Amino acid sequence: MSVHTLRIDGRDLAVPEGTTLLQAAREAGIAIPTLCHLEGLSPVAACRLCLVEIEGTDKLLPACITPAGEGMVVHTATPRLQDIRRTVVELLFTEGNHVCAICVANGHCELQDLAVTTGMDHSRLPYRFPDRHVDLSHPSFGLDHNRCVLCTRCVRVCDEVEGAHVWDVGWRGEHCRIIAGLEEPWGSVDACTDCGKCVQVCPTGALFHKGDTTAEKHGEPARLQALVHARRHQEWDP
């Protein structure tokens, strides 16, 4: 297997061919923020929080899908990148209805953590307050579109791990949202196996267990990673 040598934030690294910049950075202990990325699921570069600068090009590239190349010089935390990441987080807050004080994921929310990481203590952009509904048709779980950030983790885990293909992305632009089945109430989709994996991977309080109240949503990333690993190796029988 060939090896590529590169430099990330002043550190010289050697990684196997096919390694992404995100993987290389994390293996070296260099933190790059992400929201849509989850180890074991296919990368989609949807959130754009992992953008990095590579010397020799003015184009910013998402670290989660950019392969490490020989001789690359990568910067992950320049002032330009930090400002972009804060702006992205502000956009996610202002285009939804994220009221942390009454959210089931308060204190356990990746978007909330990113706000702290990027230094967002207020928004420089106006809030849109969209009119979005909550789907409580499922007997065990709920979907609050007000808190959804369109990371598509639920879509990918349902497709790639559970194999149920319940979730998809519907519509476009400001009307874009996660849909169940063919735009049906979640509880009406017969393909749903009630496994709850989509709830576990949701980074916010958009997908939740019924009965959870403020700050009571807790993910189980270690258990989920074990399921993903077993599925990848055809060891887990659903």
Q: Are residues 198 and 168 in the same domain?
A: yes
Q: What is the CATH number of the domain that holds 114?
A: 3.30.70.20
pLDDT digit string (tens) for 129-152?
999 999 999 999 999 999 999 999
Q: Give the span between the Cα atoms of 113 and 119, in whole angstroms.
A: 10
Concatenated DSSP letters of 40-89:
TSPP---S-TTEEEETT-SS-EETTTPBP-TT-EEES--HHHHHHHHHHH
**Number of domains into which the chain is organized:** 2
Tell me the pLDDT of the chain (238 aa) as tens digits: 699 999 999 999 999 999 999 999 999 999 999 999 999 999 999 999 999 999 999 999 999 999 999 999 999 999 999 999 999 999 999 999 999 999 999 999 999 999 999 999 999 999 999 999 999 999 999 999 999 999 999 999 999 999 999 999 999 998 999 999 999 999 999 999 999 999 999 999 999 999 999 999 976 655 666 666 565 555 444 4
> What letter represents residue 111's amino acid?
L
pLDDT digit string (tens) for 215-227?
999 766 556 666 6
Residues across the chain = 238
**Final residue of a domain: which of 26, 56, 77?**
77
Question: DSSP label at 231?
Answer: H
Full residue range of the structural domain in which residue 27 is found:
3-77
Q: Are residues 7 and 121 in the same domain?
A: no
Strands 3-8 and 73-75: parallel
Q: Are residues 24 and 62 in the same domain?
A: yes
Q: Are residues 73 and 91 in the same domain?
A: no
Structural domain includes residue 189: yes
Structural domain includes residue 90: yes
Structural domain includes residue 237: no
Q: Are residues 91 and 120 in the same domain?
A: yes
Q: Are residues 66 and 129 in the same domain?
A: no
Helix (H, G, I), strand (E, B) or coil at 130: coil
Instruction: Please check whether residue 37 is in contact with residue 22, taking contact to mean a CB–CB distance below 8 angstroms.
Output: yes
Q: Give the span between the Cα atoms of 203 and 153, in whole angstroms.
A: 8
β partners of residue 141? 209
